Chain A
Amino acid sequence: MSKALYALTIHEALAGMRRGAFSAVELTQALLERIAQTDSQVKAYLTLTAELALEQAAAADARRAAGDDAPLLGIPMAIKDVLCTAGVRTTCGSRILENFTPPYTATAVRRLAEAGMVMLGKTNTDEFAMGSSTENSGYFTTHNPWDLERVPGGSSGGSGAAVAAQEALAALGTDTGGSVRLPAAYCGVVGLKPSYGRVSRYGLVAYGSSLDQVGVLAKDVRDAALILSVMAGHDDHDSTSMPAPVPDYAAALTGDVRGLRIGLPDEYFIAGVQPDVEAAVRQAINLLGEMGAEIVRVSLPNTEKALPVYYLVATAEASANLSRFDGVRYGFSAGAGSILENYRESRGQGFGAEVKRRIMLGTYVLSAGYYDAYYLKAQQVRTLIKQDFEAAFGQVDVIACPVAPTTAFRIGEKANDPLAMYLSDVFTITPNLAGMCGASVPCGFDAGGLPIGLQLMGPPLGEEVVLRTAHAYEQATTWHTHWAQPVAVGA
């Protein structure tokens, strides 16, 4: 075996363990050593669970010895710290949950664990998944493994950086407006946001309940498909999880895009897109055309309305969801005077600046006199955006566009300008508003050597065609074979 164990994909690692080349314990130890070597620079992990990981790896080896071959048996992964893990601290990147240990495990995590996953730890995130850079974490900022002075994207920046730095074979993230796809693009890995309702949200600490979805950050498309097959499907604990059957997503990876119709939306190739990002994305789409897909121009006329719709809808939902942090049942309590004073103080001290900003905006747009003008209006325009996509998916199978207007920006560059930060998500929020699925696939590097992501959007429950397109493109290129060197390995 030429590759280091930590550098394997999931499907390579499974093949190795099946033929007895190494054990899950050896694989897990290799990842823990890698983390020890690189994570002081990258800072992807909020909590490491090394001891637990080695126990789980030993259990996986015992299962394999007994003839078990579960789909993720012995695979070390990282979990975004907004997904509840029984007995393991879950902070949501917030000081208000600094000492919170959930009494139960999120369904998505539980399904991976039952399939044999080894959990290495919990990854950094913007506080309550609100942000595009991890700079809003209440703990520290994660660094992009390709350039430690730059952000990894967000809000699943810890998960993106962990996979890119090869500190986990894959990671779970969550995506409310781009929080899986943006870090995947900035970190040069594969990101998959399933359709709304495809994966249970039970145990995912809520941000925007009509938008949130659990997603995957992986080294290649095959790994993302494997993980989705394990965690998707209806869950009695989430009434918004779809009762649709779960296909074997890996079986969709035919490598063939002949006859597929790929939509090219004019509204996603606009002024303000970094020229080398646009060039790389157009080149990727041309390649898919050369491989036999039919490239069709489509129009999504309400695209420019998506960003304001998103931050009115998402913040309104957030203001309601975060009312549960009251200093009574769990989380930080200021221990101040009356019950009302204790609410104000616990929340005022416990939440960070961006979370308070979004609670304020959401409370304002829901308040008497403004509800119709802002919240209802946003939901009506959301209908128009959804109708744009329904019309487009009448003509095409997949829509291709950039993930973000630029590559990873410098830490601190947008920290004082919330609107500029929100604009990072301008191309990723529409799938959340319309309940669609979307993926980010590496499609090149900019002049400074930073990764660029190609976004592929599919209709609700269109994961198979999105994964098939992404995989065919990936296998026709070599971008997924390039890896960041966050520190001099072995130095």
Chain B
Amino acid sequence: MRLTIDEVRHVAELAKLRLSEAELALYAEQLSAILDHAESLQQVDTSQVAPTPYVLPLYNVMADDAPAPSLDNAVALANAPDKADGFFRVRAVFEE
């Protein structure tokens, strides 16, 4: 398994990470080595095996739909890098 720089660049875009050319090259090498190690899983016959995404036998945990106190607006915004009028301020999503 050898990831190309372009494949790594594509993954970085999916993950919304800006990486330098040096990081792209390093991760291409390191991720390839890690994925090689994971190749051993392909030898295991799992045709009759259900996946385990979660270990607990808990399903559809329900809670009452009841109002309860929550964070005050100012407290919820206290860590915001940018805010205005009681809201998080974000950059334009659609360009004009």
A173 to B92, CA, bound (A): 40
Is the pair A380, B91 in contact by a Cβ cutoff of 8 Å?
A: no
- Please, how many angstroms separate the alpha-carbon atoms of A151 and B18 in the complex? 30
The interface bits of chain B over 5-47 (1 if a CB of A lies within 8 angstroms of the residue's CB, else 0) are 0001001101111110001000100110111011011101010
- Cβ contact of A196, chosen from B35, B55, B81, cutoff 8 A: B55
Contact of B46 among A311, A328, A381, A433 (CB under 8 A): A381
For A101, list chain B residues within 8 Å (CB): 78-79
* Contact call B80/A329, Cβ cutoff below 8 A: yes
The verdict on A356 contacting B38 (CB below 8 Å), with A103-B75, A328-B88, A376-B51 known, is no
Shortest Cβ distance from B24 into chain A, in angstroms? 10
- The answer on a CB contact under 8 Å between B44 and A381 is yes
Given the complex of chains A and B, what is the CA–CA distance between A184 and B44 in angstroms? Answer: 33
Q: Which of B12, B76, B79, B81 contacts A360 (CB 8 A)?
A: B12
How many interface residues does A have (CB within 8 Å)?
Answer: 71
- List CB contacts (< 8 Å) of B74-96 with chain A: 75-76, 78-82, 88, 90-93, 95
Tell me which residues from 243 to 296 in chain A have a Cβ below 8 Å from any Cβ of chain B: none
Which of A100, A327, A356, A373 lies in contact with B19, CB distance below 8 A? A356
A338 touches B95 (CB 8 A): yes
Report B88 CB to chain A, min CB distance, Å. 6
Give, as a whole number of angstroms, the nearest-CB distance from B80 to chain A.
6
- Complex contact A379–B91 (CB within 8 A): no
- 1/0 per residue, CB under 8 A from B, across A328-345: the answer is 111111010111101111
B14 CB → nearest A CB, Å: 5
Interface string of A363-374 (1 = CB under 8 A from B): 110010000011
From known contacts A338-B91, A339-B93, infer whether A364 and B31 are also in contact, taking CB-CB under 8 Å: yes
Q: Flag the segment in A159-167, A382-390, A396-404, A480-488 that touches B.
A: A382-390
How many whole Å from B54's CB to the nearest CB in chain A?
Answer: 5
Task: Please give, as numbers and ranges, the residues of chain B lying within 8 Å of A381 by CB-CB distance.
Answer: 41, 44, 46, 49
Contact B16 A343 (CB under 8 A): yes
Tell me the minimal C-beta distance from A346 to chain B in angstroms. Answer: 8
B31 touches which of A339, A343, A345, A360 (Cβ 8 Å): A360
- A313's nearest neighbour on chain B, judged by CB, is B53
Q: Which A residues are CB-close (under 8 A) to B63?
A: 236, 239
B37 touches A419 (CB 8 A): yes
- Please tell me if A347 contacts chain B, counting CB pairs below 8 Å: yes
Query: Which of the residues A353, A367, A382 comes within 8 Å of B51, measured between beta carbons?
Result: A382
Q: 26 A-B pairs, CB-CB below 8 angstroms?
A: A103-B75, A103-B79, A239-B58, A308-B38, A329-B80, A330-B81, A331-B79, A333-B81, A337-B91, A338-B92, A338-B95, A344-B16, A344-B17, A347-B17, A348-B17, A348-B18, A357-B31, A359-B17, A361-B35, A374-B35, A374-B38, A374-B41, A379-B51, A383-B49, A419-B33, A435-B55
- Top 10 A-B pairs ranked by shortest CB distance? A435-B55, A348-B18, A379-B51, A333-B81, A330-B79, A380-B46, A308-B38, A344-B18, A239-B61, A339-B91
